[in-house]
């Protein structure tokens, strides 16, 4: 009889899916925390602060979207009806903006990750992988709160529309890669989102062309798809025309004002000079402070040696040090020219690392993502590099492509991504709490302006709240009922808004383009003025120029004649009909 050796059973092995799901789970938890940080900050600050310049212009245009059509942007036709439905509640409009930002970035992120999975056969099979990437892209969307006003402006429809368009492109590209015909609603949606993009900013045509080219090349948009895209475009125009505002009413003023802009303060030579002189210092800082990180990315994509990995993390530590000490991570408009550079370094790292690692074969869609923020930023008086970081989510998608496609550089790229999301959280919360757009920190905005219904939903700096209340009380007999015509020189759309008034001519009186403002005022005075027997109030926040008197005299508003000084308060001088 022979004896046999009985071996003890082997310990159970952890399922491979458990191990491979660990890192996506950690990434999901980290990205979710970043989203919560800046989203909760946006939610809690929605009822604080008010800027009388840019933000006031947005709110004034939304308040009278169906009456005042002379404007350089049609964003009022998108947000004006929403503002009406919200009872002209500023805080509620800001919450609405937060919902749209989170929702659109989620849709874009999920569509991108679903497309990317087809190119990453070794990705974990669980949907946790897509969720982690989607949440990271959502977290990157916090840069939209880094320096702009909390109220949605014309930048929002352009960016959000472009991301929705790209979401449709990635979904169609995934169908094409599987050899399937894309559902008709995808090209239809792509065509429909083109309308709000162009309505908000006519100079966004390059954005439409960029997204359209990506659809044709990568999503294989053919005759049928093009037909559905045109149908979507036509349907969106019809909805705008019949349900919001007739195109014959909305388009001619937009064309007229944008022509004046193109001939004046926004002429091509002026913009090119401004863009170049302000962008060059930032590009120099990028190479000087973050050049070692870019070089480390190239090395990491080509070598797995421990020394290369160590050098990479050392370069990242140096870059993070630069960002902390001089990168303006406190956020807000006061720091925007500083914190642009660290975010530019992220996309530069992704591009050089991806190219060094041989990721050229997906060049069209990744190239579209890399170009989108820069193309979206063109066509305004702001510096393109400054505006481009609002679309950092597109650059985060490129970084995720590098992270998941280059195993050699995975550790360093993951660290770069995590560091950039921390920077996003810092910049977004700083722009919301510490340095709100042309306002005081949130903790100092504690008072409600007494007797100012337009500002009832927000708390302000006590001194400003008192001044606005006094101004509104002093002019109550002139501005009640709402809708009094007001001419405010310069950049005082917010003052007109809090007085429940309507601007004469354009809603925005630019201090660097007074000829344009004068043309708008003169045209409003021609023929049969809309204000009838209630001539406008005249409000100045500066000395009266001869050009001001000239245009006012043409309208029959003679200071010292049929207009008398009414009050001087809060740095404003107000004249009323005698």
pLDDT tens per residue across span 491-501: 999 999 999 99
pLDDT of residue 4: 45
pLDDT at position 14, please? 43
CA distance 136 to 24: 11
Nearest alpha-carbon partner for 336 in 386, 374, 390? 386
Please say whether the dihedral angle defined by the alpha carbons of residues 432, 438, 442 and 445, taken in this order, is positive or negative. negative
Q: How far apart are CA 34 and CA 132, in angstroms?
A: 12
Q: What pLDDT, on the 0 to 100 scale, is given for residue 362?
A: 65
How far is Cα 350 from Cα 347, in angstroms, rounded to an integer?
Answer: 5
Helices (H), 357-409: 363-376, 384-388, 392-405
The SS3 of residue 570 is coil
- Do residues 97 and 156 lie in contact, with contact meaning Cβ atoms separated by under 8 Å? yes
Long-range contacts of 273-281 (CB under 8 A, 24+ apart): 274/381, 274/383, 275/383, 275/384, 278/337, 278/383, 278/385, 278/386, 279/383, 279/384, 279/385
Q: Does residue 105 contact residue 141 with C-beta atoms inside 8 Å?
A: yes
CB 208 within 8 A of CB 193: no
Closest CA to 200 of 46, 380, 374: 380
From the list 172, 59, 82, 143, the residue with the least C-alpha distance to 425 is 143
Low-confidence ranges of the chain (pLDDT < 50): 1-8, 10-17
| pTM exceeds 0.85 for this model | yes
Q: What pLDDT is recorded for position 15?
A: 46
The neighbour count for residue 275, using CB atoms within 10 Å, is 18
Quick one: pLDDT at residue 20? 63
The pLDDT, as a whole number, for residue 266 is 74
Residue 266: name the closest of 528, 510, 539, 572 by CA: 510
């Amino acid at each position: 009889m022979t004896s046999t050796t009985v071996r003890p059973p082997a310990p159970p092995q952890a399922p491979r899916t458990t191990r491979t799901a660990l890192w996506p789970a950690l990434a999901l938890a980290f990205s979710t925390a970043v989203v919560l940080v800046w989203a909760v900050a946006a939610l809690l600050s929605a009822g604080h602060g008010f800027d009388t310049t840019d933000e006031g212009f947005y709110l004034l245009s939304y308040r009278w979207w169906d009456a005042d059509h002379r404007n350089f942007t049609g964003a009022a036709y998108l947000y004006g009806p929403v503002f009406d439905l919200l009872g002209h509640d500023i805080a509620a409009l800001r919450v609405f903006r937060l919902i749209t930002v989170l929702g659109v970035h989620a849709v874009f992120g999920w569509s991108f990750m679903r497309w990317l999975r087809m190119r990453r056969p070794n990705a974990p099979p669980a949907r946790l992988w897509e969720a982690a990437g989607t949440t990271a892209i959502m977290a990157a969307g916090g840069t939209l709160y880094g320096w702009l006003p909390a109220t949605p402006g014309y930048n929002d429809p352009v960016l959000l529309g472009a991301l929705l368009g790209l979401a449709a492109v990635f979904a169609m590209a995934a169908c094409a890669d599987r050899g399937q015909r894309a559902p008709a609603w995808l090209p239809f949606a792509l065509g429909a989102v083109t309308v709000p993009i162009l309505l908000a900013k006519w100079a966004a045509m390059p954005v439409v062309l960029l997204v359209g080219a990506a659809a044709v090349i990568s999503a294989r948009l053919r005759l049928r798809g093009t037909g559905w895209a045109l149908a979507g475009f036509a349907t969106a125009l019809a909805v705008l025309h019949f349900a919001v505002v007739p195109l014959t009413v909305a388009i001619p003023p937009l064309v007229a004002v944008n022509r004046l802009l193109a001939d004046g303060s926004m002429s091509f030579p002026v913009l090119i000079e401004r863009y170049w002189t302000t962008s060059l210092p930032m590009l120099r800082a990028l190479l000087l402070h973050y050049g070692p990180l870019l070089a480390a990315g190239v090395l990491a994509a080509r070598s797995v040696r421990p020394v290369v990995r160590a050098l990479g993390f050392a370069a990242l530590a140096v870059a993070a040090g630069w960002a902390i000490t001089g990168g303006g991570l406190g956020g807000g408009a006061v720091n925007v020219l500083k914190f642009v550079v660290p975010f530019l370094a992220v996309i530069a790292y992704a591009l050089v690392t991806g190219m060094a690692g041989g990721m050229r074969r997906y060049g069209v869609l990744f190239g579209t993502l890399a170009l989108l923020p820069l193309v979206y930023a063109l066509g305004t008086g702001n510096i393109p590099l400054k505006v481009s970081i609002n679309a950092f989510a597109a650059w985060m998608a490129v970084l995720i492509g590098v992270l998941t496609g280059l195993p050699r550089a995975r550790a360093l790229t993951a660290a770069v991504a995590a560091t950039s999301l921390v920077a996003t959280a810092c910049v977004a919360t700083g722009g919301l709490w510490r340095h709100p757009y042309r306002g005081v920190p949130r903790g100092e905005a504690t008072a409600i302006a007494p007797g100012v219904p337009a500002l009832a939903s927000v708390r302000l700096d006590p001194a400003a709240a008192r001044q606005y209340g006094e101004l509104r009380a002093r002019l109550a007999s002139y501005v009640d009922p709402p809708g009094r015509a007001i001419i405010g020189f310069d950049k005082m759309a917010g003052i007109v808004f809090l007085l429940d008034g309507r601007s004469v001519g354009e809603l925005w009186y630019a201090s660097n383009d007074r000829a344009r403002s004068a043309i708008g005022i003169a045209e409003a005075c021609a023929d049969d003025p809309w204000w009838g027997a209630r001539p406008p109030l005249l409000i100045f926040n500066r000395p009266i120029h001869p050009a001001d008197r000239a245009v006012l005299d043409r309208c029959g508003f003679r200071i010292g004649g049929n207009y008398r000084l009414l009050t001087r308060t809060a740095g404003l001088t107000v004249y009323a009909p005698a």
